[in-house]
Chain A
Amino acid sequence: MSLLEVDALDVHYGAIHALHKVSLAVEEGEIVTLIGSNGAGKSTTLRALSGMVQSSGGTIVYGGRSIVGLRSDEIVRLGLAHAPEGRGIFGSLTVRENLELGAFSRRDGKVRSDLERMFERFPILQERAQQSAGTLSGGEQQMLAVARALMARPKLLLLDEPSLGLAPKIVQKIFAIVAEINRDGVTILLVEQNAHLALSVAHRAYVLETGEVKMAGSASELAASDEVRKAYLGVG
């Protein structure tokens, strides 16, 4: 059974039908990416999975149980963390406080050692630990968003547009970290506008268009398909 199975998911924002019967699956250990243009419903899909928006139809089964209707804080506790669009950094709190909040629901005694591990992986965050998170650069904030989500010790990490607004060099770095996290055993569902980059790191991909899944397949298949190359990779 897949770690995450989404079937015929519908989301409405008022009168706007944002997702039409979206179905997808994520297997344990994979990096799966959702690509598509602005407004295709990528972020909405992640928001529905983490309980930030309520779905109006369909099922979401995570780890063998339905999580439709659960609150965000209940979903995190099941091991599904979400680094949201726009990073959602608490700017007036310090970097360390942001990280500690990522582990809010954990009751085990290993939060402190995990914090040390994050500081090893992201040395810049250790340097800035006592600074307000709002003073970090965009790239540093993105690292903080990822590190904070990892503090929940997730089995599945939802990552929304980690490349947004960042310089290419920093984007490379963040994607290297994404691959590294995945090798450590975290399953990742990645939303990305930069399809080229997303397909280079992912195992499988779904193409979303106006709230519907248009194509699905392995990352290499999709990267080679004419349609994807034309529409999303700027080739042809």
Chain B
Amino acid sequence: MFASLASILRNDRATSVFLLLLTVVTVLASLANLLFPEGSALHVSTYTLGLLGKYMTYALLAVAVDLIWGYCGILSLGHTAFFALGGYAMGMYLMRQIGNRGVYGDPVLPDFMVFLNWDTLPWYWHGFDMFWFAALMVLVAPAILAFVFGWLAFRSRVTGVYFSIITQALTYALLLAFFRNEMGFGGNNGLTDFKDLLGFDLQANTTRVALFISSAVALAAGVIACRFIISSRFGRVIQAIRDSESRTRFIGYRVDNYKLWLFVFSAMLAGIAGALYVPQVGIINPGEFAPINSIEAVVWVAVGGRGTLYGAVIGAFLVNYAKTYFTIALPEIWLYALGGLFVISTLFLPQGVVGLMNKVMQRKQEARV
């Protein structure tokens, strides 16, 4: 594993540069937040840090989407379902940590259950008071969903737009389901009012910095893992599947299995992203399942440049920064801008920003020659 990490760093310049940059930004931002007092010119506010941390979880989601779309041609329009499931698993842990500090003061039941007059904890809430269990579920819940869904879909060769449409239906069905109070996930309001994580106060500055650094580490680990997969023979097989699925099958590869495991892995990445996202924004509700979120995640990848992992990260940062800026400065404009981004990136930037940069660099090089 370390050997392959070393070989990645040796052979893949773009990824190395990206990892270096990520480390520098993370360390500097954290130090600037912790060492310099508020008001200092060098201080990075906790708000900014939280925002960056949120972007990093989005970036991890984008990497997950890019892995299956950019490298294997599977366009999932329901990937935020996995993101949200990971988020809910983390949210359930955080809910249990509230204990008797809730409005109703029930030592076991979360507030919304007391409100619904439930007197016992539903079976699937058991175990979430332990962090290791919740952390396991962050991976297992999305993986199971992805496995069952993917097994059904890939085995019967549902591909292309059909797959996209049914993934959208999947996340839509989950959205409707999680809206129901009877599901026991807080219905409309979702899970919120979290107090602490592993005993650390979620409002405390140091906790926020720690979450920020965790997100950065998760992102880096995600990118390295994906890099490892892509540069293995497995990676060449999935790209072969992307380019000619039936040919790959005739050579003797069980395409369904390849797609399935890639899909499951990607879902787990999305789940981790969701789990890191929830404590930083302080809420998880069914809105996260909305199909539009999934499509937005695809656009991050498209804008950044699919088929390059760092492109997906760049896309996630660019689009989300634009979103944060526009929704505050010009809320009217945001949907126009986002809509325009979809159109422009598909029509004029098939390889995304990264593709554009490569082209410009190539031209410069040619000019020099």
| Pair from one complex | no
